[in-house]
């Protein structure tokens, strides 16, 4: 059983509705990634969550505080959210660098996965900013500094390679995805799945820990219903977090 901590995959939406002369506003809070969490829990893993808006106050500030976590998953939450907590941004207070804490967590043997999205890797308009963060050289992919989105509304079917415990039973063509973050695999990284010419799933190592990058989404919008309902979806995440926690062959 693997202990997983998911940071991100939540947001707030504030909409303005125009109806002729009149307007009104609506607001909603969204928790995504439910399918991902359910798949891992059904496989026997434990999953805890830190919402994106709570990262500044609730996410651990040191590697020691991450000690009970086997695998940390960052999904659709940008680097600024970890770096600019309310004390630092609003009151100019010194605070622990949470991205340095994640780096140390991995160096000591923890597992780290980044999942794609508009606020992952470099992100929309370059705002996720991980390519300029302390995690830039931790992942098995090179992260750019500009807008790295690849939007493919017609859908592109990923192709998975054999020969690794993460990809076992998943080899071949997967259901289509609607987009991904464009990254480049490092020479020491191992590409297990691709979308066209772009790497989709890459695994590797950083010091004593294991790392992975999944460049598309674990939930809508890049992951459409056909991908979420795919019989390989739970197997993919189960095998990936199990490997990240240290089971199976080295990177």
Asked if the model's pLDDT at residue 248 lies above 90, the reply is no
Is residue 243 predicted with pLDDT exceeding 90?
yes
What is the model's pLDDT at position 148? 98
pLDDT band at residue 23 using 50, 70 and 90 as cut-offs = very high
Mean pLDDT, residues 226-245 taken together: 98
Domains and CATH numbers, the chain: 3-9+29-244 (3.40.50.880)
Three-class DSSP labels, the chain = CCEEEEEECEEEEEEEEEECCEEEEEEEEEECCHHHHHHHHHCCCEEEEECHHHHHHHCCCCCHHHCCCCEEEEECCCHHHHHCCHHHHHHCCCCCCHHHHHHHHHHCCCEEEEECCCCCCCCHHHCCCHHHCCCCCCCCEECCCCCCEEEEEEEECCEECCCCCCCCCCCEECCCEEEEECCEECCCCEEEEEECCEEEEEEEEECCEEEEEECCCCCCCCCCHHHHCCCHHHHHHHHHHHHHCCCCCCC
Task: Tell me whether strands 111-115 and 209-214 are parallel, antiparallel or unpaired.
Answer: parallel
Q: Token pair for residue 170?
A: 């998943």
pLDDT in tens, 119-169: 999 999 999 999 999 999 999 999 999 999 999 999 999 999 999 999 999
What pTM does this model have? 0.96
pLDDT above 90 (res 251)? no
Residue 133 near residue 119 (C-beta atoms within 8 A): no
77-134: per-residue pLDDT in tens?
999 999 999 999 999 999 999 999 999 999 999 999 999 999 999 999 999 999 999 9
């Amino acid at each position: 059983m693997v202990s997983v901590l998911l940071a991100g995959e939540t947001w707030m939406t504030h909409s303005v509705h125009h109806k002729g002369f009149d307007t009104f506003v609506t607001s909603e809070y969204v928790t995504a990634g439910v399918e991902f969490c359910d798949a891992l829990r059904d496989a026997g893993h434990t999953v805890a969550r830190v919402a994106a808006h709570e990262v500044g106050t609730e996410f651990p500030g040191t590697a020691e505080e991450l000690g009970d976590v086997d695998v940390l998953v960052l999904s659709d939450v940008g680097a600024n959210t970890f770096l600019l907590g309310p004390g630092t941004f609003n009151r100019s207070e010194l605070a622990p660098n949470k991205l340095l804490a994640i780096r140390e967590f991995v160096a000591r043997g923890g597992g780290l996965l980044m999942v794609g999205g508009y606020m992952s890797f470099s992100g929309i308009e370059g705002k996720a900013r991980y390519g300029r963060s302390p995690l830039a050289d931790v992942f098995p992919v090179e992260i750019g500094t500009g807008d790295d989105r690849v939007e493919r509304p017609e859908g592109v079917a990923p192709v998975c390679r054999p020969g690794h415990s993460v990809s076992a039973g998943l080899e071949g063509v997967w259901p289509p995805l609607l987009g991904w973050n464009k990254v480049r695999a490092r020479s020491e990284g191992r590409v297990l799945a691709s979308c066209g010419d772009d790497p989709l799933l890459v695994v590797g190592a950083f010091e004593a820990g294991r790392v992975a990058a999944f460049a598309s989404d674990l939930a809508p919008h890049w992951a459409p219903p056909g991908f979420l309902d795919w019989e390989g979806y739970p197997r993919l995440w189960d095998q990936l977090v199990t490997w990240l926690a240290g089971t199976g062959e080295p990177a």
